[in-house]
A and B are shown apart, each in its own frame.
Chain A
Amino acid sequence: EVQLVESGGGLVQPGRSLRLSCAASGFTFDDYAIHWVRQAPGKGLEWVSGISWNSGSIAYADSVKGRFTISRDNAMNSLYLQMNNLRPEDTALYYCAKDMSYSSPFLRGDGFDIWGQGTVVTVSS
């Protein structure tokens, strides 16, 4: 079965750190870019970050640039998001999503065809 499974969410105080993970199965992980997309409670979707198949291209939303770091381990079929200096506005359901584009060096978000179920991050004192 093709799937993505996120983990690592939780309740954290402002200014602290958290590391999210996304485990992939059922497809050739190292052929595709993967992205993080978040959804604040009652709000719409917000793209957070993306990483190309070989980690050669990495991009971040302005709202997280300098605080979040995306990485992947193709041998482990896993994606990560290191989140530092967390703010209350980072509170959201975080999804990982597979890009449809095959072995592309670009991170244009060419259709996200597989999504995980999400992991909740709550930043509060």
Chain B
Amino acid sequence: QSVLTQPPSVSGAPGQRVTISCTGSSSNIGAGYDVHWYQQLPGTAPKLLIYGNSNRPSGVPDRFSGSKSGTSASLAITGLQAEDEADYYCQSYDSTLSGSNVVFGGGTKLTVL
């Protein structure tokens, strides 16, 4: 059971817009910790897609955008392309009285129809 909750799967047709949610709580996203997003293509290592809630590393297309509000964050992908089919993970930091850890969401599989 991940501290950050993502939908197991989302899908969309080429050219469409899809969003992937990442729901946390007052001990992680709601506490103000940044959210980062990763794309993992089949058989490859994860790749940083969004850092600091809404920033794109150099080379990441502007079709990818991130946002954060309250205890949740979202990744939006516009102009969906076949090569976007991958697993997507959110990541943040969780701090409670019992300890603090880097945490990942359970991952969302994006299918391009």
Residues of A within 8 A of B33 (CB): 108
- Set of chain A residues within 8 Å of B103, measured between Cβ atoms: 47
Pairwise interchain contact B48-A111, C-beta atoms closer than 8 A:
yes
A24 CB, nearest partner CB in chain B, Å: 15
Q: Is the CB of A44 within 8 A of B101?
A: no
Q: Kindly provide the distance from the CB of A62 to the nearest chain B CB, expressed in whole angstroms.
A: 7
Whether a CB of chain A sits under 8 angstroms from the CB of B69 is no
Given A44-B106, A44-B107, A118-B45, also A110-B51 (CB < 8 A) = yes
> Chain A residue with minimal CB distance to B107?
A44
Residue in B closest to A106 when the chains form the complex, CB atoms:
B93
Instruction: Tell whether, in the assembled complex, residue B51 and residue A113 are in contact, meaning their CB atoms are under 8 Å apart.
Output: yes
Scan residues 20-66 of chain B and give those whose CB is less than 8 A from a CB of chain A. Answer: 33-34, 36, 38, 40, 45-48, 51-52, 57
Q: How large is the interface on B (under 10, 10 to 19, 20 to 34, 35 or more residues)?
A: 20 to 34
List the A side residues contacting B40 at CB < 8 Å. 45
Task: Give Cα A113–Cα B37 distance, bound, in whole angstroms.
Answer: 10
CB distance from B8 to the nearest CB of A (A): 10
Task: Indicate if the CB atoms of A107 and B38 lie closer than 8 Å.
Answer: no
Query: Is residue B113 within 8 Å, beta carbon to beta carbon, of the partner chain?
Result: no
* B46 x A95 contact (CB < 8 A): yes
Binary A-proximity of B56-100 (CB < 8 A = 1, otherwise 0): 010000000000000000000000000000010101110000011
CB-defined A-B contacts under 8 Å, sample of 13: A44-B104, A44-B105, A45-B46, A45-B89, A45-B91, A47-B104, A59-B102, A100-B48, A100-B51, A107-B102, A108-B33, A111-B34, A113-B48
A residues in contact (CB < 8 Å) with B? 35, 37, 44-47, 50, 59, 61-62, 95, 97, 100, 107-113, 115-118
Write the residues of chain B forming the contact surface with A, with a CB cutoff of 8 angstroms. Answer: 2, 33-34, 36, 38, 40, 45-48, 51-52, 57, 87, 89, 91-93, 99-107
